[in-house]
Each structure stands twice: as C-alpha cells, then as structure tokens.
Amino acid sequence: MKDITKLLIENKRVLIQTGATPPKMREQCKLPSVQAVTWQAAMILEGRRKIVTSSQAKLDKAQATSTGYVNRGLTLSSATEARLFVGGNFTACSGATAACRFACVGSQTGQGALPSSKIARIGRTLAMLVDPDRFNALLDCEIESERSRQAIFGHKLAFRFNVASDHWRLAEDCSKRNPLVTFYDYTAIPNASRLNSDNVTTSIVQRVYSRKDGAKSDLIARNMLKEGRSISVVFDTPKGEPLPATWHGAQVIDGDVNDLWFLRAPKSGAFVVGLRVKGTNKQKKQAIDSGFAVAA
C-alpha cells in the first residue's frame, strides 16, 4: 500500500482516539477522494463503522421467512477501483474483464454506483490491507454477533464474502474462522471453483465459476460443466422473462430469485446459476455485444 495512504489512515485513527469527530458520509462525499476513503478506513479500524453489508438489493431478496436464512455479505472494492490508493497493480478481481467491470452489479449499478457506496467499499479495502488482524477481528465479531442474533429466531446465516470482489483465499480463511456460518461465492478464478470437488483440497465455501466474456472464459465454463462443476452465466434475458431451462446440457436455476442458489440447486450434477443482464441500456448493450451476456 502507498505510504501516504497508510500515513493518512494512521493519523486519522489517532485523531479519533483522541476525541475528534469524524466527518459524516455526506461530508466525506465533498472531500478529496483520498481524504474520504482514509477517513472510512480509520473509522472502521476504530470501530466507528460497520464492516458487514446488511442491506443490498441482491442480499435482501433472501428472506428468513421463506428460506430459513438471513443473507449478509462483505462489499469490498471491485476490480481496480482501489488501485489509486493501494498502488502497484492491485486488483480485487483478477479475472475481471472490461465488460464485467463496466456492468458490475456490486459497484456500477443501483446503489452500488453512488459515491457514498464507492467510498465505503474502498474504505473497507484499505482497512483490511493496512491492519488485517484488526479488520478480521472486527469482521468476525460482526459475523458471530449476527449469527447469534438470528439463531434466537431459528434462522441460519448465509454470508457472501465477495459481493463486489474476488478475494477467494480471504473467503476461505474467513469461512474457517466462522464454521457455523454458510459461506458462498462466485469466482472467475478456475482453481478456486475447483476446490469444492477436488479430492485433495476441500473448501467449505459453496462456490460457482463466474463465466465472463471471451473465448477463454467461455471454454473454461463449458469444461467446468463437463467436469461436473457448477457455474454462473449472465443471459440477455429481460427482467421478468424466464431464463432458459438448460445451458450446454446443464440445468439452469434462477439466480435472481435470491442469492442463495445453493438452496435450489439439484441434488447431484453440475448446474448453471442463471442471471439476467442488468444496468443501464448502455451497460446492457456492452454486456451483450461483448459476449458477457449470452443469448437465452
């Protein structure tokens, strides 16, 4: 991480520790970006901001009354949006393409496109990088608190570590620290998606390979299905219209019903989590033209 970013975060932590009142989000939105995101990081590490995402359109679709689960997640910065503050070739999604970055549902559509949401995502990412031990301790505390609270009502907790990112190794670590929580994810990294059914290395994170645009990703996705592993595919299906029943011979389950696709997956064999293309008309067009969204 850039030295100036670390210095700004540490200085702001000291200010908070000595009684300073951090600027509210509406005030942060008016600050230079580096000041806004470092305030966010400092507030998180000093326990002044929550880490877990408890309200997000896709997560909110999973209602405990119908699924038995409450859905929560961690929304870190997507792709390269934190690179300006981290430096180097930092990316949160090594398998991202131009098309999926442009239409990322975690950062470029809906509330995720708001300046306040971007500040919060980057702030969490910087906090995680500058003081991972403190960040993980706070994160685990929030997860366990939510799990315990929901257990009182007879509900289970599902957790998506990567709402807008693809830190699969960090998801693995977090799942091992919180074994009573159901972790699930999407990943564009083939080796990560193979952990679930590998004979040597196993994962408790339920994960599907996320198909992107381009011949390479398309080939990987089809090979995954042949290997008996599951994937997610974005279709050019309009909102409200049914998804195709199958894709390359595998059953398609509707991933837009809610994010807990593992509850609706077939008992055996590979399947496809089908997602409808989202965003503005411009975003949808690029997704379709690039091949990121495939014909239904």
Q: Is residue 34 a part of any domain in this protein?
A: no
Q: Is residue 152 a part of any domain in this protein?
A: yes
Q: Is residue 30 a part of any domain in this protein?
A: no
Q: Is residue 5 a part of any domain in this protein?
A: no
Per-residue confidence (pLDDT) for residue 23, from 0 to 100: 97
CA dihedral 167, 58, 143, 18 (to 10 degrees): 80
> Which residues have C-beta within 8 Å of that of residue 248, sequence separation ≥ 6?
222, 225
Give the structural domain span for 240.
57-294
Q: Is residue 177 a part of any domain in this protein?
A: yes
Tens-binned pLDDT, residue by residue, of the chain (296 aa):
899 999 999 999 999 999 999 999 999 999 999 999 999 999 999 999 999 998 777 788 887 778 899 999 999 999 999 999 999 999 999 988 887 776 676 565 556 668 999 999 999 999 999 999 999 999 999 999 999 999 999 999 999 999 999 999 999 999 999 999 999 999 999 989 887 644 444 678 999 999 999 899 999 999 999 999 999 999 999 999 999 999 999 999 999 999 999 999 998 899 999 999 988 898 889 889 999 999 98
> How many Cβ atoms sit within 10 Å of the Cβ of residue 202?
10
Per-residue confidence (pLDDT) for residue 199, from 0 to 100: 41
Can you read off the two tokens belonging to residue 258? 């809610």
Per-residue confidence (pLDDT) for residue 107, from 0 to 100: 61
Q: Is residue 101 a part of any domain in this protein?
A: yes
> How many Cβ atoms sit within 10 Å of the Cβ of residue 17?
10
Q: Is residue 230 a part of any domain in this protein?
A: yes
Overall domain count for the chain:
1
pTM of the model: 0.92
H, E, C per residue of the chain: CCHHHHHHHHHHHHHHHCCCCCCCHHHHCCCCHHHHHHHHHHHHHCCCCCCCECCCHHHHCCCHHHHCEEEEECCCCCCCCCHHHHCCCCCCCCCCCHHHHHCCCCCCCHHHHCHHHHHHHHHHHHHHHHCHHHHHHHHHHHHHHHHHHHHHCCCEEEEECCCCCCCHHHHHHHHHHCCCCEEEEEECCHHHHCHHHCCCCCCCCEEEEECCCCHHHHHHHHHHHHCCCCEEEEECCCCCCCCCCEECCEEEEECCCCCCHHHCCCCCCCEEEEEECCCCHHHHHHHHHHCCEECC
